[in-house]
Amino acid sequence: MCSLPIPLEPLCRVAVTGGTHGNEMSGVYLARHWLRAPGELQRPSFSAVPVLANPAATAVCRRHIGRDLNRTFTNTFLTSKPTPDEPYEVTRARELNQLLGPKNSSQAFDFLLDLHNTTANMGTCFILNVTDIFAMHLCHRLQLQHSEPRPRVVVFKLSQEETFSIDSVAKHGMTIELGPQPQGVLQANLFSRMRSLVASTLDLIELFNQGTAFPAFEMEVYRFLSCTDFPHTEDGDLAGMVHPQLQDQDFEPLQPGAPIFQMFSGEDVLYEGDSTVYPVFINEAAYYEKNIAFMKTEKVTVSIPALPVLSPAPAH
């Protein structure tokens, strides 16, 4: 497994971003709170920087203004010449790349934690690049600390040239995804859980900085396979919807022959794959514009090597 470089010195430049999607309210309001009162993000060896990632979208409580910001941190967008008619999020991605990166450079932030909500029944979920060994260690320890309900881990396997999300700007990073929560709605239980998960993540970074051992381990993860589109009519309109037997069954096994769509004409569409998969982001509201009904993952066990033990970091 090709992996990102494992940190050999303390992580002192850490960022927490909320509002990457402007209608996912837990991260929006945590970022706004921390910008006013950042003391909660301070640790002995570092102070995490709070960032409201998409202020224009949060101001109007929309996912984005012109395009999905969390798909805009590719080298193509970040290095292209600005144009007068480009979407706001392309300009904002370049600004964030200058603030938190530049991407793939030695000057980039050491770690970035991005905060999201989903309308799908995902519970507590961490999303990251499986090649980021440091972030995998954080997910493993967060699972042990926050076991009720047990968080799931969704991984992608992307080269640094292929990555597109805001956390890829930093040297290491991951996403916390909590749901279900409607767009534009703030729910106290999910807000509190996200706040607790952020605090635990920063505590774990502090433990690493202070020389705590992070031994090797094995962990069950859900590895992204592909997206399944909604059925459509010839003129591009929806022809059906997520089947009631599939709705809210995120992370549950989907067997070949099980129903996945209920057509408006009345018949069922069955899953035609030849192996069991585990759907996630089922009927996510934000994915209608992308024509995605759900994402397919496979459940696998990965082996993660130990992290180096650092000399204790001085207080900053």
Measured CA to CA in angstroms, residue 248 lies from 103, 160, 295 at distances of 36, 32, 13
Q: Is 21 flagged in the annotation as binding?
A: yes
Extract the tokens encoding 45.
């060896």
Q: Decide if 204 contacts 46 (C-beta within 8 A).
A: no
Helix (H, G, I), strand (E, B) or coil at 92: helix
Helix (H, G, I), strand (E, B) or coil at 233: coil
Residue 284: active-site member? no
Q: What are phi and psi of 49, to 5 degrees?
A: -95, 120
280 alpha carbon, distance to own chain's centre:
13
Extract the tokens encoding 231.
């059925």
Any idea how long the chain is? Answer: 316
Q: Is 232 flagged in the annotation as binding?
A: no
Select which of 161, 162, 177, 218 is catalytic: 177
Q: Is 172 flagged in the annotation as binding?
A: no
Helix (H, G, I), strand (E, B) or coil at 146: coil
d(CA 247, CA 249) in angstroms, rounded, equals 6
- 3-class SS shares of the chain: helix, strand, coil, % to 5: 30, 25, 45
Binding residue numbers: 21, 24, 116
Residues tagged active-site: 177
Binding residue numbers for Zn(2+): 21, 24, 116
